[in-house]
Amino acid sequence: MTLNAMGDEWWRTATIYEVAPISFQDSNGDGKGDLRGVLSRIDYLKWLGIDAVWLTPIYQSPFRDLGYDIADYCAVDPVFGNLDDFDRLVAALHEAGIRLILDFVPNHTSSDHAWFFESMRSRDNPKADWYIWADAADNGGPPNNWLSRFGGSAWEWCEARGQYYYHSFLVEQPDLNWRNPQVRAALADVMRFWLDRGVDGLRVDASAVLIKDHLLRDNPPNPEAKGKPPPQRDTPVFTDDRPETMHCIEFIREVIDEYPGRLLCGEVQGKTDRIGHFYGNERPRLHLPLNFALLDSAWDALSLQATIDAYRNALPKGAWPVWVIGGHDKQRVASKIGQRQMRLLAMLLLTLKGTPFFYMGDEIGRERVPIPPDRVRDPFEKLVPGYGLCRDPERAPMRWDDSPKGGFTTGEPWLPLEHDGTPNVAQQRGDRDTILQLFRQLIALRRAHPCLQYGEQEAIPSRHDVLAFRRVAGDRKVLIVLNLSNEPRKWDCRGHGRILIATNPDRRTERLEKPTVLLRGGEGLIIEIDA
Ligand code: NOJ
């Protein structure tokens, strides 16, 4: 399919694949993935059938937080290549019918950014108000009790100004002051810089925390703090999800809308019932606020049924749903549910109404990679140890084959790979029975079938640990039945039909002679019901 044939709202029917380029493919043997590496894997992306790639930050950065600490928004970090490599990548992806989404990190820069050097110099330089500065409290300590997500006070003393600056995350990630119109204008120009280069969308990082309370009121204690990591001691009501933040998202959306056919998705925080307002009302906000509810749900049919229902109920009228099953911050779900159930999750993701997102390696059932303590890179784990917060197990290099370096690099991988014999692309591509092949079939079916693309979703009561729902478009009807138990289950399909895809590779895509189907333990089926 050509890009234009999908229309301006291409993201409604797209399958989106997150790539952390540092761990995808190294092209020059330095042990770190790069843009040329991504370029060399376009054939794989095309074969897999995804419609868009979202790249985590590729910008110039000291890389203290996977590149989410940006020192120059308009430069590619030399580790990844340069702007020519970037332009070549965009052109080649587009040629292959694949769109490109970039991460956009408007909340904070690196402390190595030229804006911050200037801002920290004095209280009256031209960029003095580009970051969030405040005087010390009466006792000389931080202005209030706000905590950094990465541990300790969110305020850091700056000798040159005799003031504190605020950082939601690392000390080396000062928060920009979104109340300042100059900051907004500068970030709008950053967006245009990349949109002009042909980028098809942006994923807004930390979109819920762009504005903090201007009175700097203390956050109240978290009543559920017991056993939680210290940064969660307080309830962040005065730092997160402030009403004014929504105006910032509306502003970002206006810039995106200067360019037809571009997508704005974003990382949002909070409970499912807050997700609705990230879509916007009179003024549009994000096209797709990322929804991680499937990852946070308990893994049984009743819990999943309730999770799906709660999310759907939280959507405002006309909002397009989105489902995510992995990401660079999220523990690998295959480690939680196991390989067989991972097939069910793939089927669920790719049959629910809404745009599916998955993360590199999910398609081969990748699990968490054990990281020895001396190889830990994630600052979250270093600063808040002992709570299992380390994100390196998800960020380990992609396993393309079963060689010791996984086909990822010829050098020393920046994070270790797991032992040989774990799932890898080469082995799974060559075997029709693998989860990789299942992902590919599901993506292809989704693309081809009107029910799965835009059909309505109808709930069916789950019973005996079988999750079921229907997708309906006109007179076509598709039933999805997922047996989450390990025992066989009978299911009444209320009609004859034909199995389109089964999670068990040896099940034939047969016609059902009876309206009742026998599901094996852990089996999922997509059945087209006769009209
Ligand atoms: C959200 C990103 O997804 C995460 O990886 C990062 O640590 C924080 N933003 C801070 O930049």
Q: What is the DSSP letter of 475?
A: T
- Residue 69 Cα: closest atom of ligand 1: 11
Catalytic residue (choose from 205, 240, 367, 381)? 205
Residues 341 and 411 sit within 8 Å (Cβ to Cβ): no
Across 218-354, where does the E strand assignment appear? 263-266, 288-289, 322-324
Residue 206 in contact with ligand 1 by CB distance below 6 A: yes
* 321 half-sphere exposure, CB direction, 13 A CA radius: 27
Confirm if 275 and 267 have CB atoms less than 8 A apart.
no
In whole angstroms, give the CA distance from residue 527 to residue 406: 37
pLDDT per position as a tens digit, 4-15: 666 899 999 999
- Which residue's CA is minimally distant from atom 6 of ligand 1? 68
Do the Cβ atoms of 33 and 81 come closer than 8 Å? no
Residue 513: the pLDDT is 83
Q: Is 187 in the pocket of ligand 1 (CB under 6 A)?
A: no
Asked if 487 and 471 touch (Cβ cutoff 8 Å), the reply is no
Centre of ligand 1 from the C-alpha of residue 67, in Å: 9
Verify whether ligand 1 is closer than 6 Å to residue 104 (CB atom).
Answer: no
Buried b (16+ CB within 10 A) or exposed e, 157-192: ebeebebbbbbbbbbbbbbbbbebeebbebbbebbe
Residue tagged active-site, from 258, 309, 456, 492: 258
Question: Structure pTM?
Answer: 0.97
What one-character DSSP code corresponds to residue 368?
P
Residues of the chain with pLDDT under 50: none
* Per-residue pLDDT tens over the stretch 51-69: 999 999 999 999 999 999 9
Burial bucket for residue 357 (CB in 10 Å: 0-12, 13-18, 19+): buried
From 56, 329, 395, the mutation candidate for ligand 1 (largest count of ligand atoms within 8 A of CB) is 329
Ligand 1 nearest-atom number relative to CA 380: 7
Q: Read off the DSSP letter of residue 127.
A: T
Structure tokens, 428 = 């799974």
CATH of span 457-529: 2.60.40.1180
**How confident is the model over 403-418, as pLDDT tens digits?**
999 999 999 999 999 8
Does the annotation count 258 as an active-site position?
Answer: yes
Give 4-106+180-442's CATH code, choosing from 3.20.20.70, 3.40.228.10, 3.20.20.80, 3.40.50.720: 3.20.20.80
Q: What is the pLDDT of residue 306?
A: 98
- Of 433, 436, 452, the C-alpha closest to 526 is 452
Confidence at residue 213, expressed as pLDDT on a 0 to 100 scale:
98
Task: Check if 4-106+180-442 and 457-529 are the same fold.
Answer: no
Beta strands of 267-377 (E only): which ranges? Answer: 288-289, 322-324, 355-359
Per-residue confidence (pLDDT) for residue 418, from 0 to 100? 84
Task: State if residue 415 touches ligand 1 by the CB under 6 angstroms criterion.
Answer: no
According to DSSP, the β-strands at 52-55 and 99-104 are parallel
Fill in the DSSP letter of residue 153.
Answer: B
Q: Does the beta carbon of 175 lie inside 6 Å of ligand 1?
A: no
20 Cβ inside 6 Å of ligand 1 = no
pLDDT, residue 4, reads 61
| Order of strands, sheet of 322-324, starting from the edge strand that comes earlier in the sequence | 288-289, 263-266, 201-204, 99-104, 52-55, 16-19, 355-359, 322-324
Boundaries of every domain in the chain: 4-106+180-442, 457-529
65 lines ligand 1 (CB under 6 A): yes
66 Cα nearest atom in ligand 1 = 5
The pLDDT value recorded for residue 278 is 96
> Are residues 378 and 393 in contact, defined by beta-carbon separation less than 8 angstroms?
no
| CA 149–ligand 1 middle distance (angstroms) | 10
Whether the CB of 467 sits within 6 Å of ligand 1? no
Q: Is 213 in the active site?
A: no
CA distances (Å), 164 to each of 107, 133, 137, 160, in order?
17, 6, 10, 10
Contact call for residues 65 and 173 (beta carbons, < 8 A):
yes
pLDDT tens for residues 17-31?
Answer: 999 999 999 999 999
Nearest CA, atom 11, ligand 1: 68
Mean pLDDT across the chain: 96
